[in-house]
Amino acid sequence: MIIGLDANILCYALDEEYPEHKKARSLILNLSADIKIALNPTTLHETYHTLVFGQKWIPKDAAETLKMLLKHPNTKFLNQTMKNSIIALTLSVQHELGGRDALIIANFLANEIPTVYTHDRELLKLQKISWKNQNLTLKDPLNE
């Protein structure tokens, strides 16, 4: 099983100052050959930005933590491509998504990630997004 992570869930999992931390941290602690996470440049850099500028982490600590997560054998990093951007632009119009949300969703769809964990209420309203023959389900792991 591979699950895409939105930046909000990744921030909760990494920063114990969030009330959601206890529920979200298991996503990182339980990584295994059977349970993997997928990240992309947008989620990675949104997480860095939030940890440093919102949560006041030391930039070096945030960067090192995220690098360790990227190097974890059960983390799959998905590159951003022109195809992802084209899909994102289409999804933006179809679903009234903002640019970053559309990029995140498009990247996961293009890479056949079936489920994305997010705490974003606007995304969760969509529940499911399809692109051609790919389907992506949006879930909140904090409410399961």
Pair 85, 103: CB distance under 8 Å: yes
Half-sphere exposure of 142 (CA within 13 A, CB side): 20
Q: Give the model's pLDDT for residue 111.
A: 95
Q: Give the model's pLDDT for residue 19.
A: 94
Give per-residue pLDDT as tens, 18-61. 999 999 999 999 999 999 999 999 999 999 999 999 999 999 99
Looking at the predicted structure, is the pLDDT value of residue 68 above 80? yes
Q: How confident is the model at residue 125 (pLDDT cuts 50, 70, 90)?
A: very high
d(CA 129, CA 9): 19
Q: Can you give the CATH number for the domain in which 45 is found? A: 3.40.50.1010
Pair 36, 28: CB distance under 8 Å: no
d(CA 7, CA 82): 21
Quickly tell me which residue has 């974003």 as its tokens: 120
Domain count, the chain: 1
Looking at the predicted structure, is the pLDDT value of residue 144 above 80? no
Q: Give the model's pLDDT for residue 143.
A: 86
Q: Give the model's pLDDT for residue 57.
A: 98
d(CA 109, CA 90): 13
Domain interval for residue 33: 2-143
Q: How far is CA 136 from CA 4, 10, 23, 44, 58, in A?
A: 10, 18, 23, 19, 34
| CA-based nearest residue to 51, from 41, 39, 61, 38 | 61
